[in-house]
Amino acid sequence: MSTTAAAAAETHPALTQLSDEELMFRDSVRKFAREQIAPHVREMDEAGVFRKDILKKLFEMGLMGIDIPEEYGGQGGRFFSSILAIEEIAKVDPSASVIVDVQNTLFNNAIQRWATEEQKKKYLPRLCQDTLASYCLSEAGSGSDAFALQTRAVDKGDHWSITGRKLWITNAAEAGLYLLFANVNPEAGYKGITAYLVEREFPGFQVGKKEDKLGIRASSTCELILDDCRVPKSNVIGDVGKGYKIAIETLNEGRIGIGAQMVGLAQGALDHALAYARQRKQFGKTIGEFQGVQFELAEMAVQVEAARLMVYNAARLRDNDQPFVTEAAMAKYFASQVAEVVASKAVEVLGGVGFTKDYPVEKLYRDAKIGRIYEGTSNMQRVTIAKAMLG
């Protein structure tokens, strides 16, 4: 991206909402993403593997424990800081962004809110230092109907025995710790669902097939196989039978993270389109001088800005202990639409080269599709929004 394009991207009105500390944090993440991640994005996408050295640097930068209190080794930041990091990294690589997203907005938040003090002391420092986490809810027959899960947990007296399979689990290939949901009493329906902290080394736990995906290919998505997996009694998170509450609350926050990922992706696509429009010449002038191209770029910019403000608003509400569930659903729903549309238009602005893998917009277009699917499909967000409107 040209210097001029980068400067234009930094002038959007939403930045007036950021404090000096937030601006400094955002700029440090931006610099890291451009210098440490960007050179390897194409290679990781083609291989479908996230580089271990970059994952290590994410930990060293403190980006895997952003709002974990300093007493546990975290940065002591706010949820909004996680959103800024997710957005900035997504401009360069949405695959790297979702790795940071799941760690911060889903897993770390669940531990901080629901874990015992002993569990926090044991696991939070590891999550900050070197242990990637994974959130394990979905199953083959349990997607949007999340509470239809069939994985079963049986009380064996001195431990829990968990048997079942999880599907489409993000970060699964590299993770060392899994927040896994199983049902202790299927007859009770969702009221039997319980959350467990499962370590990779626990007997009976295995990471299965890795999915070959359309987009965010460097982010691993795998099957998990549990065959009489032995989980200590001390690794139950929250109360037995109350796992559904943990799932609902964490996913509500996670949707803001996905919104931030989609905003970053869309901004990255727009930046590439702007840079290309300034230098590509046809009929004796740059294509950016043609009104037809200008109108497309203007429409893209308006949509990105609107999505960003919705995401920031939801994050601010959450940080200030205000109701945010509807705003989170709106932000996730709208930002995922914007990402897909803007990435598509960016391909068109670049024309023939935009359709090739030599330019980044082709990858961003593929990456955008998942935004309307994971952590609650667009239809599920519509349901949440409509129910809130109807009271």
At 374-390, the pLDDT tens digits run 999 999 999 999 999 99
- pLDDT tens digits, residue range 4-16? 444 444 444 455 5
Question: Counting beta carbons within 10 angstroms of the beta carbon of residue 292, is it exposed (0 to 12), middle (13 to 18) or buried (19 or more)?
Answer: exposed
pLDDT at 3: 44
DSSP letter for 157, please.
S
**What is the reported pLDDT for 2?**
43
- Average pLDDT per consecutive 10 residues, the chain (391 residues; last block may be shorter): 45 64 96 98 98 98 98 97 98 98 98 98 98 98 93 98 98 98 96 98 98 98 98 97 96 97 98 98 98 98 98 97 98 98 98 96 98 97 97 89
Q: Compute the radius of gyration of the chain from its Cα atoms.
A: 21
| Active site (annotated) includes residue 71 | no
Kindly report the three-state secondary structure assignment for every residue of 107-119.
HHHHHHHHCCHHH
Q: Position of tokens 């949901």?
A: 181
Total number of residues shown for the chain: 391
Report the distance separating Cα 34 and Cα 49, nearest Å: 19
Closest of 43, 366, 40 to residue 215, by C-alpha = 366
Give this prediction's pTM.
0.94
Q: Tell the burial category of 53 from Cβ atoms under 10 Å away from its Cβ (0-12, 13-18, 19+).
A: exposed
Structural domains of the chain ordered from first start: 3-131 (1.10.540.10), 134-241 (2.40.110.10), 245-390 (1.20.140.10)
Predicted pLDDT at 340: 98
Give pLDDT, residue 9: 45
CA atoms of 306 and 311, how far apart (whole Å): 9
- Residue of 87, 340, 362, 375 marked active site: 375
Rounded CA-CA distance 252/23 in Å is 26
- For residue 160, report the phi and psi dihedrals to the nearest 5 degrees: -105, 140
- At residue 51, φ and ψ (nearest 5 deg) are -65, 135
Pairing state between β 133-136 and 177-183? parallel
Task: Return the amino acid letter for 133.
Answer: A
Per-residue pLDDT at 11: 46
Q: Among 268, 287, 290, 291, which Cα is nearest to 278's?
A: 287
**pLDDT attached to residue 17:** 73
How crowded is the C-beta side of 273, counted as CA atoms within 13 Å?
Answer: 31
